[in-house]
Structure 1
Amino acid sequence: MKLQETIDCRSWAKLALVLCCLATAPALARADEPNASARDGARDFDFDIGVWHTHIRRILDPFAGGQHVIELDGVVTVSKVWDGRASLEEIEVDGPTGHWEGMNLFLYNPVAHQWSQSYSNSKVGTIGAPFVGEFRNGRGELISPDTLDNRAVLVRAVWSNIETNAHDYSESYSEDGGATWQLSFAAHLIRAAS
């Protein structure tokens, strides 16, 4: 029975990713023909390039009242790739559970005018389903399907309060298709002195 539940969750997660991509994508364009009317967001992540001190607040039980929280501190280093149409983010933090390392690869799709974010951490060494989305009015929002406690959920990543030397990053979970969101991860980043 558990195997069947896992297959159902995985199938739902794949379907959710396809629906999410279709719902957030502009009208379909030919692969070799960018949508000229869409906003060019190829430089949206330029603000993130550099070295940052980060303070992270991770909520371990977002659907159960958020009483179990751990806090971590560390460094995030973001390097520009392909003249800014991609970037590599390396994360190293320490907290009550020890040392944690992760990385994100950000890629800009010039046809869809959207960004994708693919994440991995050093303990797992695999890449999950990418977050996909875009920036609007100075705020980035990317969404991905996932599972939490064997339940299919959506995960929303948000970049906000973007300034030259600081910004916020958060992740929230939704178990109702995006109608409501529960905060699961919040990071405040401050640019390191050069």
Structure 2
Amino acid sequence: MPITPPTGDVHDFDFLMGPWRIRNTRLVQRLAGCTDWETFEATGTARPLPGGIGNCDDFIPEAWNAGYVGMALRLFNPEARRWSIYWLDNVTGGLDTATGLLRPPVSGGFAGTDQGVFFGQELFEGRSVLVRFEWTKNLATGTPRWQQAFSDDEGCTWETNWVMEFSRPPA
């Protein structure tokens, strides 16, 4: 089932700029029928890239997976009106071991709404799965939310496996 990601705008992620506290709820095992979740705190700061080409943010867990750090790299293609989001971390570097290139991104946008949807393909435990990122801006409350889901049946069903709830740190 081919999935066409929505289009977006260069300002889709303006709401995310600056520092954040991030409450993470993560499925312990993915695509295994697991119902056990772990919860942990992290911090992050989102920054624009020069020339309006996109933005990046860091992800630093406070106690989960000691030493782990990650970052999202979001690049906007003005011709296609779509975002490509890459995940990088200090475990894999975000690189394909066979090619040395960045792993494939998820792609999409907000289509002028509060809800953004981004789709991609990932290799998970040796098998190809579809990946979906969903962003909710929650502009009225200033508490954005991100969640990730996997599908191993070409998008017929989805398993949400990670949720991040953002709030501004105290001043």
Name the residue aligned to 2:126.
Answer: 150
| Corresponding position of 2:47 | 79
Contact 2:84 2:107 in 1 (8 A): yes
CA contact (8 A) 2:129 2:151 kept: yes
Using the aligned pairs only, state the percent identity: 23
Q: Which has the larger radius of gyration?
A: 1
Aligned partners of 1:172 and 1:185 also within 8 Å? yes
Deviations along 1:63-113, whole A, 9 cap, x unmatched?
223334322211111001135441011110133432320011101110010
* Aligned residue number for residue 98 of structure 1: 66
**Tell me, which stretches of 5 or more residues in structure 1 are unaligned?**
1-15, 26-38
Aligned to 2:89: 121
1:166 aligned onto 2:143: yes
Q: Which amino acid aligns with 1:131?
A: V
The amino acid that maps onto 1:70 is: E
Work out whether residues 94 and 100 of structure 1, in 8 Å CA contact, stay in contact via their aligned partners in 2: no
* Deviation at residue 161 of structure 1 after TM alignment: 4.9
Q: Which sections of structure 2, spanning at least 5 residues, go unmatched?
A: 96-101
- Contact kept in structure 1, 2:8 and 2:110, CA below 8 Å: no
- Residue pair 1:57, 1:185 contacting (<8 A) in 2 also: yes
How far apart in 1 are the matches of 2:38 and 2:163?
11
Shift of residue 56, structure 1, vs aligned partner: 0.7
TM-score scaled by structure 1? 0.75
Distance 1:110 1:71 in 2: 37
Match of 2:34 in 1: 66
Superposition CA RMSD, Å: 2.1
Task: Check whether the contact 1:116–1:133 (CA below 8 A) recurs between aligned residues.
Answer: yes
Could you say if the C-alpha distance between residues 41 and 161 of structure 1 is closer, same or farther in structure 2, counting changes exceeding 3 Å?
closer
Q: Distance in 1 between the 2:15 and 2:51 partners? A: 13
User: What's the TM-score once normalised by structure 2's chain length?
Assistant: 0.84
Residue 40 (structure 1) shift:
6.0
State the match for 1:24 in structure 2. Answer: 5
Q: Which residue does 1:188 correspond to in 2?
A: 165
Partner SS state of residue 87, structure 2: strand
Aligned equivalents of 2:14, 2:36: Cα separation in 1: 34
The alpha carbon displacement at 1:45 in A equals 0.4
**Large movers: runs of 4+ above 4 Å:** none
Deviations, residues 104-152 of structure 1 (Å, cap 9, x unaligned): 1101110010001011101222232111111132111111101222221
